[in-house]
Structure 1
Amino acid sequence: MSRKLDGKIALVTGATSGIGLAAAKRFAAEGAAVYLTGRRQSELEAAVTAIRDAGGTATGVQADSSNLADLDRLYARIESEAGRLDVLYANAGGGGMLPLGAITEEQYEDTFNRNVKGVLFTVQKALPLLGRGASVILAGSTAGSMGTAAFSVYSASKAAVRNFARSWILDLKDRGIRVNTLSPGPIRTPGLVGLAGPDAAQQEGLVDYLAAQVPLGRVGDPDEIAKAAVFLASDDSSFVNGVELFADGGMAQV
């Protein structure tokens, strides 16, 4: 039986843990040859090994998505080895929590460099490799359309990502490239629990609090987002373009 991504070349940025790693694993399991990026070499090597040990095809390239020279090196390698890119999941990003009145220039620049600048140039520099029928997936968040205390900088950066998709489908309408935003709700990842600090009890308290805000009554698992990413990456979504797909247990819908 054919797999959903057989023969496709895929790139997942920020794929050493959490949603990115889960998506890379799912893409490989569905037949794609997957390129992964991450900033930490040891974690990147571990991610590649995990995918290969499961029978998948994976290549790791150490890169910071907000560093344009790193992106140039990444795409030069993909062009040399694969010649094209069929699926791009611009997943790398992140951010911390600070309330209005305590926001710093450093936090603003770090968050927007990772979530806005990084996404913009990850996609723009990939354009020469993306052909008709390619799928671009942008990492959004329910925070981009909801108010969240002490999270305004991150939320604003994800709202910018949502509009990238809306605008880029117009820029790319003659090329047949689809661009969609995948917006998770609270997902149990190192990045999420890390917002509560290093104390395990505080981390579980945050998870429990967020679960209470979700109509399904729980936080999500990274693999649940990865399954949604496979849908957007595959031909199953061939007429889906410019949408924001919420995988949030209903959190942003009520």
Structure 2
Amino acid sequence: MSKLDGKLAVVTGGSSGIGLAIAQIFVANGARVVVTGRREQELNDAVAALGPRALAFRGDVASLEDLDRLFERVAAMGKLDVLVANAGIAESVTLEELTEEHFDRLFSINVKGAVFAVQKALPLFQDGASIILMGSVAGVKGTSGFGVYGATKAALRNFVRAWTIELKDRRIRSNVVSPGPIDTPATQRFSAEAFQKLTSTVPMGRVGLPEEVARAVLYLASEDSSFVSGTELFVDGGRAQV
């Protein structure tokens, strides 16, 4: 029996990179999966690759109206077992260069989008459901130019702590998965020099793969982690640990 047989899951930002890898491993383990994203062609390609147990929803997690439409569609499919709030953006801006627009954009997508996705999903959750937020080593490590991004990820960590208490009567578990440097379309755009510098920060001597993050998310989504809540699981090759 697969780990998510008969389960219904939503993966925001699920059309590429880590989000797509999560959707793939969920489908492979028996789940029906709704993936969201803002780029229609990427979503269509993702659903074609995922097969008949996947459904695409085009929308922006920073838009509460789009989130309302998303969960109206999910409600028609049944009770929700897993929500992975993966959608997010990373941009490098130093304190000197920081603008209000940059600050608002990152917090709107990375924090507001995740928090209100969870809030709007609450009436649909099965008791005993799993909420997984996508954090980052940036939430605990200082990196020049990524102060605002790191702050958005640190905020998510604290929300999970609060929800672990607030949702305990429904046995809904909330956790964070925090990747280190991962081989995604974003890191593939780095110059060879920048990629080597990034790799040098990882004690294991390499960047991770989206599939390695997805396996950690599957653990938290399944009954394998039935006594795990309120935690932050690092998938970072040791970067944040030493």
Instruction: State the Cα distance separating 1:207 from its structure 2 match.
Output: 1.9
8 Å Cα contact 1:136/1:178 also seen in 2: yes
The equivalent of 1:199 in structure 2 is: none
Aligned match of 2:219: 231
Q: Is the 8 A contact 1:89 1:138 kept in 2?
A: yes
Paired with 1:249 and 1:112, the residues of 2 have a C-alpha distance of 27
Matched, 1:71 2:70: no
Deviation at 1:132, TM superposition (A): 1.2
Residue 109 (structure 1) aligned to one of 101, 104, 107: 104
Q: Which amino acid aligns with 2:218?
A: V
8 A contact 1:185–1:251 mirrored in 2: yes
Deviation digits for residues 45-67 of structure 1, max 9, x if unmatched?
10000011xxx610001111110
- Gaps spanning 5+ residues in structure 1: where? 197-201
Write out aligned runs for 1:106-145 (5 A).
106-145=101-140
Q: What code does the residue aligned with 1:9 have?
A: L
Aligned equivalents of 1:6 and 1:217: distance in 2?
36
User: Structure 1 residue 193: deviation in Å?
Assistant: 3.8
In the alignment, structure 1 residue 219 sits paired with structure 2 residue 207: yes
Report the equivalent of 1:209: 197
**Secondary structure in structure 1 of the residue aligned to 2:90:** coil
CA shift, 1:96, in A, is 0.4
For residue 177 of structure 2, what is the aligned residue in structure 1? Answer: 182
Q: TM-score, normalised by structure 1?
A: 0.93
**In the alignment, what sits opposite 2:152?**
157
Query: Partner amino acid for 1:216?
Result: M
**Aligned pair count?**
242
The 2-side partners of 1:192 and 1:151 are apart by 15
Q: Structure 2: which amino acid aligns with 1:39?
A: R
The residue that corresponds to 1:3 in the other structure is 2
* 1:209 Cα offset (Å): 1.0
- Tell me how far apart the structure 2 counterparts of residues 69 and 193 of structure 1 sit (CA, whole Å): 33
For 1:29, the equivalent position in structure 2 comes to 28
Out of 86, 93, 100, the position equivalent to 1:91 is 86
Contact residue 207 and residue 219 of structure 1 kept, 8 A: no
Q: TM-score w.r.t. structure 2 length?
A: 0.98
Corresponding position of 1:43: 42
CA distance in 2, matches of 1:219, 1:192: 10
Helix, strand or coil at the partner of 1:47: helix
Amino acid at match of 1:86: D
Q: What is the aligned counterpart of 2:236 among 233, 241, 248?
A: 248
What is the CA distance between 1:100 and its match in structure 2? 1.0
Q: Percent identity?
A: 54
C-alpha deviation, 1:168, in angstroms: 0.9
> How much has 1:95 moved relative to structure 2?
2.1
Q: Which amino acid aligns with 1:59?
A: L
Partner of 1:12: 11
1:126-171 per-residue CA deviation (whole Å, 9 max, x = no partner) reads 0001121100000000000010011000000100011010111111
Moved over 3 A (4+): none
1:28–1:57: 8 Å Cα contact kept in structure 2?
yes
One-letter identity of the residue aligned with 2:124: L
User: What secondary structure does 2:9 align onto?
Assistant: strand
Aligned match of 1:62: 58
CA distance in 2, matches of 1:107, 1:95: 10
